[in-house]
Amino acid sequence: MRVRSLTLAILLAVAGPVFADEKPLEQDLYKARPLVIIAPSTADPTLRGLNKALEDPATKKAFDDRNLVLYSVAGMIGKRDDKFLEQQTTMALIREFKFSAKDTVATLVVLVGKDGTQKIIEHTGTVEPKTIFDAVDALPAAEKAIVAPTVAEQKQAASAPPKDGKQAKPAKPAKPLSPPKPLED
């Protein structure tokens, strides 16, 4: 019985990261512009200054008008718009930028466009909302015109015939599984 428990524990420890979100920013692709701040701690002046600035209704409205979504990682704790992320999602977010949170001394501020392009916002200690808004406003017109595909467009693309004109073969039906063998103790 102990062997089974140990085997299950090892399997879960190894397979856990496999089931984690590999790309947490994909949920915002073509919909919003993630602003990612990776800071060494919650006391970081860049992170605290931006959170304080977003308490102002005018700044928050300008933030929302530009379709920005704030991802913050302080130490090993991640948030998306002040909602905590799971630990595996936070680690996947850090890995996405090929950046180790424990090795950081400076705060990293990255603006991700709707199309997934990344732009590091340079700063000295703190970053003003105006700097972020200027970076968004400086994006090319093609990036600003991106809209998320509708459900109908996604279904149409999935049911469209392949471009080479060949029809795909239908999948073979799966064989029914045999009943499991009883365990022997």
Which tens digits make up the pLDDT trace of 61-94?
999 999 999 999 998 899 998 899 999 999 998 8
Domains in the chain, number: 1
The two structure tokens encoding residue 143: 């990036």
Residue-number span of the structural domain to which 126 is assigned: 30-144
User: pLDDT tens for residues 1-60?
Assistant: 566 665 655 655 555 555 555 788 888 888 899 999 998 888 889 899 999 999 999 999
Of the listed ranges 29-38, 93-102, 124-133, the least confidently predicted one is: 93-102
Asked whether residue 183 is assigned to any structural domain, the reply reads no
Q: What pLDDT is recorded for position 182?
A: 83
The reply to whether 167 falls in a domain is no
- What pTM was estimated for this model as a whole? 0.66
Q: Is residue 97 domain-resident? A: yes
